[in-house]
Amino acid sequence: MANFSASEAIGSGFRLIGRTPWVLLAWALAYLLLMLPQFAVLAGSGPHLFGLFQAMAKAPPGAPPDPGQMMALQQQMIGVQAVAWLTAIVVNTLLMAAVYRAVLEPQARGWAYLRLGAAELWLGLMFLVLMFLLMLMMFALIIPLAIGGGIMAAAAHGAPGASGGLVFGLAAAAGVVAIVWVFLRLSLALPLSFAERRFLLFESWALTRGHALKIFAVAIAVVVIVWVLEMVVVALLAVLLWVPLSFGGFDLSTLSTTPMPELLRRLLPALLLLIPVWALFVVAMTTVMMAPWADIYRQLTRADAPA
């Protein structure tokens, strides 16, 4: 049976960055360009959203929110969230494909590994299918748990005992474990579909047979690494954003009374530096998170191109 090195897979993203650091600049630029629709929507609806936020913040403490303001805020957010969702799918698919290509086809360096072809289309389709499958499995878990919890609460007259709570907790844990296990077995569907340029979902099930625990260890290690790096970078960016505001006499308590143009004037210098840095960080973390799955696929299938 083919095997793979977990440590090699975990470090594949860092090796890719070290081997071709220039691609991060190209990917960050592509990220910013692809995010333009979302930036445009935020620029168009931002002043109105900020105005609604300020109006709600001026309400007396403990007063219920105004239903009209809440409805207006929800309507504004629907459009923003729809554009954000579509943009996220496109951005994630293209960046993921670029990372997979850099790992599996390192000789195809043109356009910094960025393409829009059959591989990206199949990868995007598989990405959507996996998202839908995750939502379906979550509903399949939540609905029976909600019904079972309601039945237990009714049988216990609204106060289920310790045994009922234990059964409910064990059932929820078992459901979560089952979902995680299924997605571990299907975790190579994305690099498979990219590499073969066709829809390959259950082929991942066969490829990951006997490797689920090791793949789980890789996933946990990558999540911890990314989480630690995110905490450090977010703290640094928060300081970077707050310093010009504090020197400008800005107080967080005045956020609800500061006019939008004045707030933008104070934030602009920090934003001009923060946005490119954030784009670089996003593509770097995408590389660290996505490269291991391509590397696992490469190792298990003995792909010719070394990572």
Q: Per-residue pLDDT tens for 76-117?
A: 667 677 777 888 888 889 999 999 999 999 888 888 899 888
Q: Is residue 1 part of a domain?
A: no
Query: Total domain count for the chain?
Result: 1
**Token pair recorded at residue 83:** 């554009």
Per-residue pLDDT at 306: 44
Q: Is residue 242 part of a domain?
A: yes
Residue 127: closest CA among 89, 94, 156: 89
Q: Is residue 102 part of a domain?
A: yes
Using N-to-C axis directions, what is the helix angle for 22-34 and 67-104, rounded to 10°?
150
Residue 274: closest CA among 240, 303, 249, 307: 240
Q: Is residue 306 part of a domain?
A: no
Amino acid at 148: G
Domain extent for 36: 6-301
pLDDT < 50 positions in the chain: 303-307
Cα 95 from Cα 288, distance rounded (Å): 12
Per-residue pLDDT at 293: 94
Q: Is residue 307 part of a domain?
A: no
Residue 297: closest CA among 307, 283, 284: 307
Q: Is residue 157 part of a domain?
A: yes
SS3 79: helix
The alpha-helical segments, DSSP class H, found in the chain are: 6-10, 12-19, 22-34, 36-57, 67-104, 118-155, 162-185, 189-196, 203-207, 212-247, 260-301
pTM of the model as a whole: 0.79
Cα 63 from Cα 56, distance rounded (Å): 10
Cα 57 from Cα 52, distance rounded (Å): 9
Q: Is residue 177 part of a domain?
A: yes
Per-residue pLDDT at 305: 42
Per-residue pLDDT at 304: 40
Greatest alpha-carbon pair distance for the chain in Å reads: 67
CB 302 within 8 A of CB 2: yes
> Quick one: 153 exposed, middle or buried, by C-beta within 10 A (0-12, 13-18, 19+)?
middle
Per-residue pLDDT at 27: 93
Residue 113: closest CA among 104, 125, 123: 104
